[in-house]
Amino acid sequence: MRRLSRGSKIVLASHNAGKLREFSTLLAESDITVVSAGELNLPEPEETADTFVGNSEIKALAAARASGLPALADDSGFCVSALDGQPGVYSARWGGPTKDMTVAMERVHRKMGETTDHGASFVAALCLAWPDGETHSVVGECHGQTVWPPRGEHGHGYDPMFRPEGETRTFAEMDESEKNAISHRGRAFALFLKECVEN
């Protein structure tokens, strides 16, 4: 399996500025330069898979082939056990056309109703793709509980309604470095650095 060498340049298959900041920070120690698909004006492919790994592969392959550079994509979501793992791969879509996460969190809360099962997890799949079509994927998970009402000003997405195991605070009440140390994406990144980047 091919690995990225230190000092490589890769494309992040995302148009999200917050995600670019997060990934650049996580990859800084490897001297890997990250440019976003948005900066290169690459089109965003439709995410048609029904798994996190499948969607991250679609995005990474599209960016790698369009740019001629190795590309990294992630697909992540919020999985609520009382909702049979929903919203899952549709996490962003639950916010409606504007991807309003306040709307998405309210929808989760409403659908959970009076259940006493508050179990939930965040899942992140990362896929590294090369322009010739080779891919490698890793998955990280963080388990915990839903909370209502949402709490905290940091983070993004469903962070304000998720309290990880062993914590009294939600993801949105932690600073970025604390969250990255235990988050689904932090765990996926640890695997990615171990398996996909030369030491």
Which residues line the annotated binding site for substrate? 14-19, 76, 156-159, 179, 184-185
Whether 75 sits among the annotated catalytic residues: the reply is yes
For 72, half-sphere exposure in the C-beta direction (CA atoms, 13 angstrom radius) is 29
Helices (H), 30-164: 52-67, 101-112
Measured N-to-C along each axis, helices 17-27 and 184-196 cross at an angle, to the nearest 10 degrees, of 50
Identify residue 199 by its one-letter amino acid code: N
Which residues line the annotated binding site for Mg(2+)? 46, 75
Residues 6+ apart with CB under 8 A from 28: none
**E strand or H helix at 27:** helix 17-27
Whole-Å CA distances, 41 to 35, 69, 133:
11, 14, 21
Please say whether the beta carbons of 11 and 20 come within 8 A. Answer: no
**Tokens 């306040």, located at residue:** 102
Please say whether the beta carbons of 188 and 138 come within 8 A. Answer: yes
**E strand or H helix at 148:** none
Which residues line the annotated binding site? 14-19, 46, 75-76, 156-159, 179, 184-185
Active-site hit among 75, 100, 117, 132 = 75
Give the active site residues: 75
